[in-house]
Structure 1
Amino acid sequence: MRLATYNVEWFTSLFGDDDALLMDDVWSSRHNVTRAQQASALGLVFQSLDADAVLIIEAPDASSRRRTVTALEAFAAHFNLRARTGVMGFMNDTQQEIALLYDPDVLSAQHKPRAGTASVPRFDGTFEIDLDIDATRDKVQFSKPPLELGIETAAGTAFSLIGAHLKSKAPHGARNAAHAMKLAIANRRKQLAQAIWLRARIDQLLEEGRSVVVMGDLNDGPGLDEFEGLFGRSSLEIVLDGPGGALFDPHARQALSARLGAAPTSARFWIKQEKRYLQALLDYVMVTADIRQRNARWRIWHPLDDPDCWADTALRDALVTASDHFPVTLDVDI
């Protein structure tokens, strides 16, 4: 079975208010890329992945007028994808939902949010934690509540899947450099609190003896910014390691063990003021030991780093056109 996570930059811009796919020459929300070009590129990428389930980060918007699952299933039908049935969890206000497209002939997927407790609330609730050691509990909410799914394969294997998109807000509205730094630190504290909240849920599942897969974009990793020295640990490290036991992702472990050396990357952003690309490892598929032992194989579909992606010119170009992130897959015998 192949599981994938894929952050699709502004996927929502490729759909109209009727949730129909827009294949035209109007500019998409990606720089210098039309909606037809981005949609076609995404279609080729999804076809090449041929995944049994794809967690989509920045999935099309859900609102009173828009329906994420309808849009994704229209996309799957247009490109004749096996992963053709959609499921999502709690809506958010960012126009960037978290959803799963899957092959119903291979597995079933149901949104199964856990009932909240005083210490570990439901993901659409409020988490209380002292962020700045002032003896006052701060209230934290997810701007993009993680997606909790119960998965069962046709072979009868059951596991819990959590799709997450953790993100630290930019310091908008800053009056000066010092104020910008203050806002940035506060926003990063909130992101780390969200990682602690997510890890607490993982530990609950592990205590119940469940197999767990955590996928998505943590927007954070070793050496990514100056705040790591201030806080000591990244969101990635918090999610990977906890009292219930460690999760495993080989790319994450490689990056954490080689801070001064080369590390895998899954995203590529143009830095306008510096006129160069920044590459970073942001996308992960983290699993419990029992899943890892089922002949687990990971791959980042990076068009410049993966030899097979590079050799396939059409796929290479499609990966660059489709999004600023690249898919990460896990092939596993379940």
Structure 2
Amino acid sequence: MRLATYNIEWFANLFDRDDSLIADDSWSGRREVTKAQQIEAVAKVLTAIDADAVLVVEAPNTGKAQNTVRALQNYAETFDLRTSHAVMGFANDTHQELALLFDPDVLKARHEPVGQLDDKIAPRFDGVFHIDLDVDATEDWVRFSKPPMELIVETAHNTIFRLIGAHLKSKAPHGAGSRDEMIRLSIANRRKQLAQAVWLARRVETHIEAQEPVILLGDLNDGPGLDEFEHLFGRSSVEILLQAGLYDPHAAQAHRRRPGSVPATARFERREEGRYLEALLDYIMISDDLRDRHPAWRIWHPFRDAACWSNSELRDALLTASDHFPVTLDIDL
């Protein structure tokens, strides 16, 4: 089975209020890319990776008129993708939903959130988490702006596992009017992100203790060297999740004492500097009980993956579709 996570930048902009595609020459949310160009590029990438299930990060919006599942299934039908069914968890207010596109002939998936809203240890993901992260005797109250999606998945071979899709809060200090305010906002955002990671880790530990296989995937917006505040709290959100009993070889490599060349799953243009920034943000983490299922990870990076580089059509599609690249996991399930 092949699982994938793919952050599709500004995907919601490609759909109208009736969840139909806007395949015209108007600009998408991506710089110098039209909606029609991005729509086609995303389809080429999804066809190339040929996953049995894809976590779509920044999926189309659910609101008063729009519906994420309907939009994704319309998209899959338009391009005859075998991942023809979609499921999502809790909707949010950011126009960036989390949803799973999947092949119904390979697996079944349903939303099954765990925990109670008033649980003090690990509440349900649409609840409030109480934690004192900075040891100041003051309890912080944390909410997910994008509640993680919790699914129970059953494969055609009757293997059952828990799948958690996540998109943690960005650390960018938006709205800062001064250097001091930027520092304050950056530290506050870092604190919130770590609290979300602790919350996720506790849920993962609950499943592991119950001997339920777990796969956590998505955009964790964390990796080595992303900002100057990453060492302030002693560990990153990725390290917190690894310590909960999860494994991802790219995360493990990046967090070694001497990591060497760090993998990258995203590429952002820094126009004011005349260069691109690359970062490791997207992960597929598995519990230890799945490590004997012959897992094999791949980052579909247009310049670092030899097969992607040699296929000019795929390489261009990866660069046009999003500022993130898909990560896939092949595993015997």
**How far apart in 2 are the matches of 1:169 and 1:212?**
26
Write the deviation string for residues 238-292 of structure 1: whole angstroms up to 9, x where unpaired. 11112xxx21111111111165521110000001221110000000000012222
Q: How does 1:251-266 map to 2 (within 5 A)?
A: 251-257=250-256, 259=258, 261-266=260-265
**How far apart in 2 are the matches of 1:298 and 1:203?**
23
Unaligned runs of 5+ in 2: none
Cα offset, 1:225, TM superposition: 1.8
Q: Percent identity?
A: 59
What amino acid does structure 2 have at the position aligned with 1:326? F
**Partners of 2:148 and 2:167 within 8 A in 1:** yes
**Partners of 1:57 and 1:165 within 8 A in 2:** yes
Cα offset, 1:196, TM superposition: 0.4
Q: How does 1:49-128 map to 2 (within 5 A)?
A: 49-116=49-116, 117-128=119-130
2:146 aligned partner: 144
SS of 2:247 mapped into structure 1: coil
Write the deviation string for residues 130-189 of structure 1: whole angstroms up to 9, x where unpaired. 133221111100000000000000000000000000123432332310111011101110
Are positions 1:42 and 2:42 aligned together?
yes
- Structure 1 runs of 4+ with >3 Å offset: none
**How far apart in 2 are the matches of 1:239 and 1:200?**
9
1:205 aligned partner: 207
1:174 aligned partner: 176
1:286 aligned partner: 285
Cα offset, 1:96, TM superposition: 0.4
Write the deviation string for residues 92-127 of structure 1: whole angstroms up to 9, x where unpaired. 111100000000011000000013222111000000
**How far apart in 2 are the matches of 1:172 and 1:223?**
19
Q: How does 1:5-24 map to 2 (within 5 A)?
A: 5-24=5-24
What amino acid does structure 2 have at the position aligned with 1:269? F
**Partners of 2:190 and 2:230 within 8 A in 1:** no
Unaligned runs of 5+ in 1: none
**How far apart in 2 are the matches of 1:259 and 1:322?**
33
CA-atom RMSD in angstroms: 1.1
**How far apart in 1 are the matches of 2:200 and 2:258?**
25
**How far apart in 2 are the matches of 1:78 and 1:168?**
32
**How far apart in 2 are the matches of 1:154 and 1:325?**
30
Moved more, 169-178 or 153-162: 169-178
Moved more, 222-231 or 19-28: 222-231
SS of 2:285 mapped into structure 1: strand
SS of 1:58 mapped into structure 2: strand
Cα offset, 1:19, TM superposition: 0.1
Cα offset, 1:197, TM superposition: 0.4
**Partners of 2:266 and 2:281 within 8 A in 1:** yes
What amino acid does structure 1 have at the position aligned with 2:150? E
Are positions 1:227 and 2:222 aligned together?
no
**How far apart in 2 are the matches of 1:5 and 1:237?**
19
What amino acid does structure 2 have at the position aligned with 1:247? L
> What TM-score, normalized to structure 2?
0.97
> What TM-score, normalized to structure 1?
0.97
Moved more, 260-269 or 61-70: 260-269
